[in-house]
Structure 1
Amino acid sequence: MSGTRLSFVLVCALFLLTGCNETEQTTSDGRISLDYWVLFGGGDLGYMQDIVQDYNNSQDEVYVNIILQDFDDYYTKLVTSVAANRGPDIAVSHAAIVPELVNQGLTTPLNDLAEDVGLDFDSFYENLQEAMEIEGAYHAVPIDSHPFIMYINSDLADEANLLDEEGLPIIEETPEGFRQFFMDAMEVHPDKTSIAIPTNGHDVYRWWWMTYFQMGGTPIFSDDLTNPEITIDQEIAVEAAEYVLSFYGEIIPMHISDPYETFQSGNAFSLFTGVWGTGIWESADLPFVAVPFPQLFEEEAAQGGSHTLIIPIKEETTDERQRAKMEFIEYVSDNGLEWAEAGHIPSKPEIVESSEFQEMPYRSDYANIAPYIVYPDQTIYQSPAETDISRSLDEIMAGRLTPEQGIESMINDLEVTIR
């Protein structure tokens, strides 16, 4: 959603605020009461609820009310409620959305508050720290990174002799070797889907993004919040699309209706998606390994996002309440080990390097790519740009446009978007 579209939301969607009045500022026993909005679903929600409960039980001065909002209209409701001074005290935001919220003046700068409670932004992964800093100020605290990875059915891979002694896939780290790995799986399991991934949508976008940056692609936009230039490398963008396209039809069936169900039912050798699948497959008792994509080209790069916590602005607040909000945010970021149960990578290297995390199954197999995630550019146009890119990639993978035509169409759409 662009800055213009967010402004439109402010004017046209205030009806969503019905029933969103602020709760009391204190509880019946005198604790500061804070409303915390989240957009999580599935297993993620349960892990976050546990963290909030642990925080509430850890002290007797602050009580955090976790409030689940529907994902589909989460940001619309967040923007309209904050603009009307009825927003939450703390809220989850994807890192890619934070620049839009900052541009609308809806977030509190966190530098001074962080220093006050002892939260050090240098304690986060460097690429995450950079992603949080917008025009010289921090407006969000990252609680994780969630990269795009591979899930492989370990029983099927073992039958095809494609696992090493440690149970990890044997993949030659070249473009050709990566394709051959899945071709070898198809030879042994011709009745199985080799790679479960849709022909269109976000997972194709994620795969292309990672491939583009591994090939040495430049940022999509220049570093400017509201007036960026398009800096995408068109030639590399085409090459990345050509490589992803080469898997469709021969290795990837066209138009898989439900990749998740295909993998969970044991009918797929692999699935490409985000790390949120780890907790799902664990609970399903599915035999699998979870691994990052190998470095196939010149640069080590991965695709991923980050859940962050922000403090929306409020006209009337106190230093005591602001400090309480920041202390809770610090608590969540420090409890990355518990949040990692959902599959996410903690935002702090210290937690990832701990023996407790390294002993967790699956997570430690892909956590090493956290420093190499290429986060979206800090511009208010990231959300509509993602739509533009995905739409063009959909046309390419479906065979309606050649890679050259699709990328040219993508760049034309980006030009219109930032105009």
Structure 2
Amino acid sequence: MQRSSLARTPRGGPLLSRRSLLTGAAGLTAAGALGSCAASGTASGTLPIAYWHLLSGPDGVTMGGLVDDFNAAHENVDVTQTVLAWGSPYYTKLAMASAGGRAPDLAIMHAARVPGYAPGGLLDPWDGDLLAEFGVTQEDFPELIWDKNVFDGTLTAIALDSHPFVLYYNTEIAERAGALGSDGLLVDVSEPEEFRDLARELGAATDGGHGLAFGYLGDGSNMWRMFYTYYTQTGATIELPVGGTMQYDEETAIATLEWILSLIDGELGNDSHDGGTAISEFITGSAGMFFGGVWETGNYRAAGVPFDMTVIPAVFGQPSAYADSHAFILPHQSNPDEEKRRWVHQFVAETLKGSLAWADAGHIPAYSPVVQSPAYDDLVPQSHYADATEFLVYDPPAWFSGSGGDFHKYFGEYIQNVFARSVSPLDGWNGFVDRINALLAKPSPV
């Protein structure tokens, strides 16, 4: 998932100092390096399991802890991590490794990227019976998340989490504004003007700041998250048929863009924030609310911000939470080692069962027994938005959609001009649609 760069551990920061971390992206630029990391050995007498992921910063540290716990509990196996750069570099290297016979034993992929990889034979299926042997079954996952694991009737991914786009709010500012209910949570709003009034009241309770902060400059993914959350609240959908044209509700799309413009109008919200400045505004108490991904929880907690979180209010009818999921995949191997495959299934099962630690970073564990546990109920603010799993909305499937994909990039290229008020919502939207239709006319490069 894409992260903001201000006031948090940077993507390019130090690599994790754990024995299970092999190398960062800088050491994986050549095809030879890709091959060697999948075949690298470990301590004498242990079975090496090569594991690639794109988790850095606090997420990477947490994953490193889960890997170390597993290795400590199983002395005859050693899961070794390779961390690669987020986005296109990661997915390109993963595809090259699978196609070239140098795939790792296990990897992380955003669930919305699976439709772009599975048709090309780059992913191997999971063994549901083997997972069940280790205590993990379909019944342990919310329906929306499990369905995203299945491609063309085959269990192709195992979700670790969901990470929705949500609403943060400063509890001290909200209390001064009289916007907290008797339960100490943000008051419910169900109409567009009610939400604008709420933002106005919170803005008045700051010291000359805004009611809300939203960073969009240079961030197509964040623009899309906001747009698709509100667009789908109306019940509208978007479809990307192979060889066809993008299917959408134009009236709803334009109304959604106009709604977002009404929030970043210079009064309720700053009209020209990037991710870093929006985060800074919320950290300093200059904004009462913040639109962002759940992964910012650790950032704000470390900064000492008094905050809570909630699903974005359904002001257009039905609850909707744009999201993606980190999912475990089996990159294709022509002759997989069955012993390694068994250990990989066991590692994933044990990681899912221990994912309460993963929830600390803000992600909602996909493994329902963890979310339904008393220990998770005690996590605040995480437990306050866990119901988002009931109405998650993923990217419309296509070979170019999903986190870090061209779909987000092109949305940003055309819609940033709309948010900057240099083109009309209709012109910006039509430009985006034309660009996507051009991609739909091309065959998948995978």
TM-score (normalizing by structure 1): 0.90
Provide structure 1 residue ranges, at least 5 long, that are not aligned to the other structure.
Answer: 1-13
Tell whether the 8 Å contact from 1:25 to 1:32 is kept in structure 2 after alignment. no
- How is 1:73-84 mapped onto 2 (pairs within 5 angstroms)? 73-84=89-100
Cα deviation for residue 111 of structure 1 reads 4.0
Match of 1:69 in 2: 84
SS at match of 2:360: helix
* 1:52 matched to 2:52: no
Distance 1:243 1:75 in 2: 34
Residues 74-112 of structure 1 deviation map (CA, whole Å, 9 limit, x = unaligned): 112222222222222111111111122213321111145
- How is 1:219-238 mapped onto 2 (pairs within 5 angstroms)? 219-222=238-241, 226-227=242-243, 229-238=245-254
Distance 1:242 1:23 in 2: 49
Cα deviation for residue 292 of structure 1 reads 1.3
Cα deviation for residue 324 of structure 1 reads 1.1
SS at match of 2:291: strand
Match of 1:392 in 2: 414
Residues 374-419 of structure 1 deviation map (CA, whole Å, 9 limit, x = unaligned): 1122321313223333333212111122222222222222211101
Match of 2:25 in 1: none
Provide structure 2 residue ranges, at least 5 long, that are not aligned to the other structure.
Answer: 1-27, 442-446
* 1:414 matched to 2:433: no
Identity percentage of aligned residues:
27
SS at match of 1:309: strand
Match of 2:47 among 27, 32, 40: 32
Tell whether the 8 Å contact from 1:35 to 1:89 is kept in structure 2 after alignment. yes
Tell whether the 8 Å contact from 1:384 to 1:417 is kept in structure 2 after alignment. no
CA, structure 1 residues 393+320, in 2 after alignment: closer, same or farther (shift >3 Å)?
same
Cα deviation for residue 29 of structure 1 reads 4.1
Q: Pick which of 193-202 and 132-141 moved more.
A: 193-202
SS at match of 2:165: strand
Match of 1:273 in 2: 292
Match of 2:350 in 1: 331
* 1:155 matched to 2:177: no
Match of 2:105 among 78, 89, 102: 89
Q: Pick which of 34-43 and 357-366 moved more.
A: 34-43
Match of 2:185 in 1: 168
SS at match of 2:123: coil
Cα deviation for residue 56 of structure 1 reads 1.0
Amino acid of the residue matched to residue 33 of structure 1? P
Tell whether the 8 Å contact from 2:410 to 2:432 is kept in structure 1 after alignment. yes
Amino acid of the residue matched to residue 228 of structure 2? W
Match of 1:245 in 2: 261
CA, structure 1 residues 18+27, in 2 after alignment: closer, same or farther (shift >3 Å)?
closer
- How is 1:17-416 mapped onto 2 (pairs within 5 angstroms)? 17-20=31-34, 21-22=36-37, 27-72=42-87, 73-112=89-128, 113-114=130-131, 117-189=134-206, 191-200=208-217, 201=219, 202-222=221-241, 226-227=242-243, 229-249=245-265, 250-257=267-274, 258-382=277-401, 383-416=405-438
Distance 2:362 2:29 in 1: 36
Distance 2:415 2:428 in 1: 7
Distance 2:105 2:237 in 1: 37
Tell whether the 8 Å contact from 1:157 to 1:269 is kept in structure 2 after alignment. yes
Distance 1:15 1:68 in 2: 12
Distance 1:320 1:352 in 2: 31
Amino acid of the residue matched to residue 290 of structure 2? L
Cα deviation for residue 227 of structure 1 reads 4.2
Aligned residues: 403
Distance 1:347 1:388 in 2: 30
SS at match of 1:269: strand
Distance 1:256 1:28 in 2: 49
CA, structure 1 residues 330+231, in 2 after alignment: closer, same or farther (shift >3 Å)?
same
Distance 1:190 1:392 in 2: 34
Distance 1:110 1:227 in 2: 29
Distance 2:439 2:351 in 1: 36
SS at match of 1:252: coil
Distance 2:410 2:287 in 1: 30
CA, structure 1 residues 386+70, in 2 after alignment: closer, same or farther (shift >3 Å)?
closer
Cα deviation for residue 199 of structure 1 reads 4.0
Distance 2:237 2:216 in 1: 25
Amino acid of the residue matched to residue 38 of structure 1? H
Tell whether the 8 Å contact from 2:213 to 2:290 is kept in structure 1 after alignment. yes
Distance 1:387 1:359 in 2: 38
Cα deviation for residue 15 of structure 1 reads 6.2
SS at match of 1:311: strand
Cα deviation for residue 26 of structure 1 reads 5.9
Distance 1:358 1:107 in 2: 35
Cα deviation for residue 243 of structure 1 reads 1.1
SS at match of 2:67: helix
Match of 1:5 in 2: none
CA, structure 1 residues 228+369, in 2 after alignment: closer, same or farther (shift >3 Å)?
farther
Tell whether the 8 Å contact from 1:103 to 1:380 is kept in structure 2 after alignment. no
Cα deviation for residue 61 of structure 1 reads 3.1
Cα deviation for residue 55 of structure 1 reads 0.9
